[in-house]
Amino acid sequence: MEPLRLQREFRGAPIEARALRAGEDLWVTLTGGSRPHIGSLILASPRPSLRDPSQTSATSSVLNRPGHMDERPGRALAERLAAALGCHVALACGIHYDGLDAPAIARIEALCA
């Protein structure tokens, strides 16, 4: 099976998500910017919502490399996919741009959601 590939652009460099089924589960890479890398690993699992058990939500565990902020966009996407698809999602995230301010970081997070 070919991976599903989605791409957005920010400041002239791509941010790309690739997803591949692993049996009933999903393996995703979310990388981009001027230096794609692996900064965070996230494992998300579907579960009943704490607010409304009739709805599906997700919980996740994260491993971060020291000094990396890749968890926020990676965790949001992994949990969203796990809840929507009802499967376990393993996601590796690494997006790097030099000199980002808070609004630019928020924009990247929105592009990855």
Eight-class DSSP state of 83: H
Q: What pTM does this model have?
A: 0.91
pLDDT band per the 50, 70, 90 thresholds, residue 3? confident
Residue 76 reports pLDDT greater than 90: yes
Strand extents, DSSP E, the chain: 4-10, 13-22, 25-33, 40-48, 56-64, 89-96
pLDDT band per the 50, 70, 90 thresholds, residue 2? confident
Please state the rounded mean pLDDT for residues 34-48: 97
- Tell which phi-psi region holds residue 94, choosing left (phi > 0), alpha (psi between -120 and 50) or beta: beta
Using alpha carbons only, how large is the chain's radius of gyration in Å?
A: 14
The domain locations on the chain are 4-112
Find out whether 84 and 27 touch, Cβ atoms under 8 Å. Answer: no
CATH tag, 4-112: 3.30.230.90
Residue 113 reports pLDDT greater than 90: no
